[in-house]
Amino acid sequence: MYFLIAGVGLLLLKYLEIGFVAELSWWWVLSPFAMAVAWWAWADSTGYTKRKEMEKMDQKKQDRIERQRQALGMKSKRR
């Protein structure tokens, strides 16, 4: 996500010809987009994205169980 934000920022600065970015080559300006594609390819191929999604789902499940225990007046397993 950070690569996309940097890419859009550089693209805007290059298009509006602001600062030192106006003199940079288009290859440098567009390189954050290539890095974002590389990051997504790596994250998907190694399972990083799926692992983070599963961790979030597990945390939501534990939070929901904890809320239900508190609503029933049961003691928490967490210390």
Per DSSP, the residues of 10-68 read HHHHHHHT-GGGGGS-HHHHHHHHHHHHHHHHHHHHHTHHHHHHHHHHHHHHHHHHHHH
- Report the predicted TM-score, pTM, of the whole model to 2 decimal places: 0.65
Listed by start position, the domains of the chain span 2-72
pLDDT single digits (tens) 35-74:
999 999 999 899 998 899 999 999 999 999 999 999 898 8
